[in-house]
């Protein structure tokens, strides 16, 4: 469907020629994301200012045409697919870090800033932003906010919803508004920030975010625990999360995930029924006690080996294998079904046992791995 002349004229009044395209080839680039859905928009625009977004929403409302906000399309939910056609607003050019305020521990960014670029800008200041999904080098802050992205660090530092202080946005009527405050305490009014996070573009288009920053720990230790079977590893997860030292990462990989990881990283990944990657961070002089406490919790029935990584290269290899799992699975099984399943940590053993039963009963290979420390398991059928 081509755009009506009046609508095209209105868009051209807002966007320069290089910020608006109705060319089918370019529109096709914005027709898909990391899900298997696809739908070609009628036009793509590239906002660079909040005011352009306000005007864009007003035009779409006037002409009753669908508007889909898009980050970098790394999501697997299909949320950035223009299923109703219409206009895609790609925020890749709205990518400025507007302010880093270390005294008050926040940063103000536009939605197109890449997660990894923000982390790189924060590191010299001694801070980080907690969400660290596998797609961090490519995903945008706006996309992280849209789907409440998490990652391994969420077990200690929280997901996106726990690390955004304030938002600037435009609602479906074309009205601009701000919500939240650049402080960690805000007792006035409704918490619209937490409502918008995870809404995947259905409630408002976000044009600016004030993010809560966390100081970088001075040191970190990484442990690898291998178990004879999945049930033993799942039980260890519950024990580790029940003791006083909160890991900054607690990742789970089942036997099938380990097999794939060995194909990627070689003999550095052990053969076992299941594996846990556990990280603790903090001041260097406090880490030996933290490692000892976590190690005690990790020991139990079914433990094969508990190993503390000896150097940075070993840590890098371990995490590279873990983070390669999702793309490796998609390469091996393009039609796989992948779901994020979250249960209370104490019920992770029950979840894993139930999945194994489903796999056996129906003859469907199921690979499980993920952020076991907060009960978030990636289930791949």
Quickly name the fold that domain 219-380 has.
Alpha-Beta Plaits (3.30.70)
Residue 24 reports pLDDT greater than 80: yes
Q: How many CA atoms lie within 13 A of 173 on its CB side?
A: 3
Query: What's the pLDDT score for residue 208?
Result: 98
Higher pLDDT, 318 or 374: 374
Query: What's the pLDDT score for residue 171?
Result: 97
Query: What's the pLDDT score for residue 328?
Result: 76
C-alpha 165/C-alpha 211 separation (Å) is: 6
Query: What's the pLDDT score for residue 321?
Result: 74
- Average pLDDT in the 330-355 region? 86
- Average pLDDT in the 303-310 region? 93
> pLDDT above 70 covers what percent of the chain?
99
Query: What's the pLDDT score for residue 330?
Result: 75
Note the CATH number of domain 97-215: 3.30.465.10
Query: What's the pLDDT score for residue 287?
Result: 95
The three-class DSSP label of residue 284 is: helix
Query: What's the pLDDT score for residue 345?
Result: 87
Query: What's the pLDDT score for residue 337?
Result: 86
- Average pLDDT in the 323-348 region? 82
pTM of this structure:
0.91
Residue ranges per domain, the chain?
Answer: 5-90, 97-215, 219-380
Q: 128-181, pLDDT tens digit by residue?
A: 999 999 889 999 999 999 999 999 999 999 999 999 999 999 999 999 999 999
- Label the pairing between strands 303-308 and 219-227: antiparallel
Distances (CA, A) of 7 to 19, 56, 80: 15, 11, 22
- Average pLDDT in the 177-193 region? 90
Q: What is the dihedral of CA 361, 365, 371, 375, to 10 degrees?
A: -10
The answer to whether residues 129 and 107 touch, using CB atoms and an 8 Å cutoff, is: yes
Q: What is the dihedral of CA 362, 76, 3, 23, to 10 degrees?
A: -110
The answer to whether residues 152 and 251 touch, using CB atoms and an 8 Å cutoff, is: yes
Q: What is the DSSP string of 192-250?
A: HHHHHTTSTTSSEEEEEEEEE-EEPPSEEEEEEEEESSHHHHHHHHHHHHTSSS--SEE
Query: What's the pLDDT score for residue 1?
Result: 61
C-alpha 105/C-alpha 51 separation (Å) is: 27
Kindly report the average pLDDT of the chain as a whole number: 92
- Average pLDDT in the 314-339 region? 79
Note the CATH number of domain 5-90: 3.30.43.10
Burial (Cβ within 10 Å: 0-12, 13-18, ≥19) of residue 226: buried
- Average pLDDT in the 248-275 region? 85
Q: 262-296, pLDDT tens digit by residue?
A: 777 677 778 899 999 999 999 999 999 999 999 99
- Average pLDDT in the 23-49 region? 94
Query: What's the pLDDT score for residue 34?
Result: 84
Query: What's the pLDDT score for residue 226?
Result: 95
331 confidence band (pLDDT: 50, 70, 90):
confident
C-alpha 284/C-alpha 183 separation (Å) is: 29
């Amino acid at each position: 469907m081509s755009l009506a002349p009046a609508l095209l004229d209105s868009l051209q009044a807002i966007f320069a020629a290089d910020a608006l395209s109705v060319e089918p080839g370019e529109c096709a680039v914005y027709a898909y994301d990391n899900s298997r859905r696809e739908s070609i928009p009628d036009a793509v625009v590239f906002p660079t200012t909040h005011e352009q977004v306000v005007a864009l929403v007003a035009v779409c409302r006037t002409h009753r045409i669908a508007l889909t906000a898009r980050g970098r399309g790394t999501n697997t939910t299909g949320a950035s697919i223009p299923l109703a056609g219409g206009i895609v607003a790609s925020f890749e050019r709205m990518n400025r870090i507007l302010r880093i305020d270390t005294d008050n521990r926040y940063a103000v960014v536009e939605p197109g800033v890449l997660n990894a670029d923000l982390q790189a800008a924060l590191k010299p200041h001694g801070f980080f932003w907690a969400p660290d999904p596998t797609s961090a080098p490519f995903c945008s802050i706006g996309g992280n906010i849209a789907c409440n992205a998490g990652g391994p660090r969420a077990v200690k530092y929280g997901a996106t919803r726990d690390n955004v202080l304030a938002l600037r946005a435009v609602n479906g009527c074309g009205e601009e508004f701000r919500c939240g405050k650049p402080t960690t305490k805000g007792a006035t009014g409704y918490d619209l920030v937490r409502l918008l996070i995870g809404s995947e573009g259905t409630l408002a288009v976000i044009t600016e975010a004030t993010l809560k920053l966390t100081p970088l720990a001075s040191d970190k230790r990484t442990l690898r625990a291998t178990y004879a079977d999945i049930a033993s590893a799942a039980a260890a997860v519950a024990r580790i999360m029940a003791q006083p030292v909160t890991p900054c990462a607690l990742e789970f990989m089942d036997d099938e995930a380990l097999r794939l990881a060995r194909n990627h990283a070689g003999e550095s990944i052990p053969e076992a029924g299941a594996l846990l990657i556990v990280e603790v961070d903090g001041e260097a002089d406090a880490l030996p006690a933290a490692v000892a406490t976590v190690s005690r919790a990790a020991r139990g029935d079914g433990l094969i080996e508990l190993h503390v990584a000896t150097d940075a290269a070993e840590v890098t290899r371990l995490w590279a294998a873990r983070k390669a799992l999702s793309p490796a699975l998609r390469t091996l099984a393009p039609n796989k079904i992948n779901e994020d399943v979250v249960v209370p940590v104490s019920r992770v053993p029950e979840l894993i046992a139930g999945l194994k039963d489903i796999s056996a009963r129906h003859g469907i290979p199921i690979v499980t791995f993920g952020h076991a420390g907060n009960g978030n398991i990636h289930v791949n059928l």
